[in-house]
Structure 1
Amino acid sequence: MTKALVTGCAGFIGSHLTQRLLNDGVTVIGIDGFVDNYDVAAKLRNLAEIGNRPAFTFHSTMLQAQRWKDWLDGVDVVYHLAALPGVRNSWGKAFTDYVSHNILATQFLLEACAQLPKPPVVVVSSSSSVYGTMQGTFTNENAPLRPVSPYGMTKEAMEQICLVYVKAFGLPVTMLRYFTVYGPRQRPDMAFHLFFRKMLKGEAVSVFGDGQQSRDFTYVTDAVEANLLAAKHAAPGDIFNVGGDREIKLIDVLGIMGGLLNITPQIVYQTGPVGDSQRTCADITLAQTRLGYHPQVSLEDGLRQQLADIRSQGKGS
């Protein structure tokens, strides 16, 4: 691989992936429309972290602009991370935006790739939200898709449109279902970022529900590695879970965070919002055997690095 296109390159995972590719000697075309679902200043900081590099060309525009001739020229791999994230904001009138950014923009990309004489490999970022609340043991990729939010539904529809293009055109598309990615540059509206900021200020942390909900947390550099492995080893139509080192209850995560700060977190419990899954837990056996994916960063180490990043930004006291 010599040239890659990264959509959503100024975002959380996208900026880390872009940096990794550049460090590996890959020429990168980056696109980001700076959707204002959270503070755009955070995305600008991410771009600053990438820096001005000769091998990096950045386009500040939406995928809906469809400037594919410029964006896809000579590209070997497309990493499609651009999307409108967030479960809780996907209800009501906002759903139209989720359809536009998560489904329609993906279809535009796939259609453009399918028209090329030699289509690039396309690695698409999906979400564990397609599963909804998981039952029983760890969930593998054959589990029923039962999203419990409009956001999760758009991610499921995005996967389906990808499979349609695989079947119709043989387009080399693979999908990665991330399980709650965290780490430096995490979106400021996400739980770990909010929790650390509150704790650093000596304020109480708001927890939706009883804190017994469990998650499988994935450190951002592990998510990046999964993208690179998928580009090399996945077959058209493959779907992989991308998870962390273990499932853990939210209340126990808060205990780890408090330990890093040498405090006992103050917790205020609130009614859980509609659309939140009670449990997500990844069976990553398929990614391990087919891609060679193995999470390298423990939750404790990952939280320590995220805390250091937040402190370096002066976001806490």
Structure 2
Amino acid sequence: MKKVIITGVGGFIGKSICLRLLRSNVTVIGIDVDDSRVKDLFEFSNFSFKQASFSEYDQLEKIIKDRDVDVLYHFALKGGLLANAINDVDMQLENAKYTVMILKKAIEMSVKKFVFIGTANQFEVQQIAYNEDVIPRNTCIYAASKLASEMMCKVIANQHEIIICSALCAMVYGEGNYSMQLPNVVMKQIIEGAEPRLIDGNSQYDMVYIHNLTKALSLIGEQGENNTSYYIGSHSNDLLTFKELWTEIRNIINPDIKLGFGEFKDSFSMDYSKINCNKLYEELGYRPEYSLQESVNNSVEWIKNNLMEDK
């Protein structure tokens, strides 16, 4: 893997994988709506930036002249992962359209491999789609659009000479994440000495640390097999429940803090036993670089320096 394109290069995951690849001497062409979040990347001689809005994706072959690209990683997501965006049906339909558009442009540009970035919640949608006893939660709008996008992309990719791999990611946490998703919110509360209000948490749950994720994404770009979807999470052989996982994290940060389990109804319903969580291990030889304790300690330090009011 010598040259890649990364859409959404200014985002949390996009920038993190970009940094890993740049440090590995891979040439990276980054795409985003502006360069405000990637100015520090210009110190790398192997980085170039192309500004493009979502509406300009249909001109991508004119914006990027390179025709020797090995991999295109598609992270760009209109609206990001804000709650009002992932619950917006119209916006998620647009994201599906833009994903297919990017793949078609990759084909026109003779890109060798397309890496689709999805969510582990796609498995949840698959499992409950025809289960009358389960009421889908709002997150299923986003996950359903990702599932539809992945399937359409696989159909199109297999009609052309381009390899397609999917990375289906668990909840991501770590340095560079400015969102107020669950990991940041709960870790911040524990640091501050507050009691987090949480779900019952008796079901299995998974998260992935950003630097372990980017290692997995790099491996998928280099070695991922055609038409294959790879789950990326903690890759524990015996996943913990939400309650067990957050109790471990609490013990790392501040064991004296009480966790308010049971404050909210647990609407999460995914059967991990039906997912091959270890495909990365088995097929690509993946091993995480950071333990849970190292991941949490690094995340806490970053949160203290970037998200705390009295930093």
Determine if the TM-score, normalized by the shorter chain, exceeds 0.5. yes
Aligned 1:31-110 pairs, distance under 5 A: 31-33=31-33, 47=38, 50=41, 52-66=43-57, 67-68=59-60, 69-71=62-64, 73-74=66-67, 75-84=69-78, 86=81, 88-89=83-84, 94-101=88-95, 103-110=96-103
Amino acid at match of 1:120: K
Q: 1:280 to 1:270 in 2, by over 3 A?
A: farther
Q: What's the counterpart of residue 146 of structure 2?
A: 155
In structure 2, the gaps of 5 or more residues are: 130-135
SS of the equivalent of 1:248 reads: coil
Q: 1:265 to 1:32 in 2, by over 3 A?
A: farther
Q: What's the counterpart of residue 309 of structure 1?
A: 302
Cα separation, 2, equivalents of 1:48 and 1:303: 27
Amino acid at match of 2:162: L
User: Which of 191, 206, 229 matches 1:200?
Assistant: 191
Identical-pair percentage = 20
Cα separation, 2, equivalents of 1:291 and 1:29: 25
In structure 1, the gaps of 5 or more residues are: 35-42, 134-143
Q: Aligned pair 1:250/2:250, yes or no?
A: no
Residues 54-95 of structure 1: CA deviation (Å, up to 9, x unaligned): 322223432331231223624221111122554954576x21
Residues 125-155 of structure 1: CA deviation (Å, up to 9, x unaligned): 111111117xxxxxxxxxx554641111011
For these two proteins, the number of residue pairs brought into alignment is 293
More displaced, 191-200 or 253-262?
253-262
Q: What's the counterpart of residue 7 of structure 2?
A: 7
Q: 1:314 to 1:112 in 2, by over 3 A?
A: closer
CA contact (8 A) 2:205 2:245 kept: no
Q: Aligned pair 1:129/2:121, yes or no?
A: yes
SS of the equivalent of 2:216 reads: helix
Cα separation, 1, equivalents of 2:251 and 2:13: 26
Amino acid at match of 1:61: A
Q: What's the counterpart of residue 251 of structure 2?
A: 259
Cα separation, 2, equivalents of 1:299 and 1:266: 20
CA contact (8 A) 1:245 1:298 kept: no
In the TM superposition, residue 214 of structure 1 has moved relative to its aligned partner by 2.6
Residues 187-235 of structure 1: CA deviation (Å, up to 9, x unaligned): 422111111222222333131x213233122221221122221122223
Amino acid at match of 1:3: K
SS of the equivalent of 1:204 reads: coil
Q: CA RMSD in A?
A: 2.7
User: Which of 293, 301, 304 matches 1:300?
Assistant: 293
Q: Aligned pair 1:285/2:278, yes or no?
A: yes
Cα separation, 2, equivalents of 1:11 and 1:20: 14
CA contact (8 A) 1:217 1:299 kept: no
Tell me the TM-score normalised to structure 1 length: 0.81
Cα separation, 1, equivalents of 2:65 and 2:128: 34
Cα separation, 2, equivalents of 1:254 and 1:190: 14
Q: 1:47 to 1:212 in 2, by over 3 A?
A: farther
Q: What's the counterpart of residue 24 of structure 2?
A: 24
Q: 1:156 to 1:187 in 2, by over 3 A?
A: farther
Q: Aligned pair 1:215/2:209, yes or no?
A: no
SS of the equivalent of 2:20 reads: helix
Q: 1:290 to 1:72 in 2, by over 3 A?
A: farther
Amino acid at match of 2:245: V
Cα separation, 2, equivalents of 1:191 and 1:258: 14
Tell me the TM-score normalised to structure 2 length: 0.83
Cα separation, 1, equivalents of 2:253 and 2:230: 35
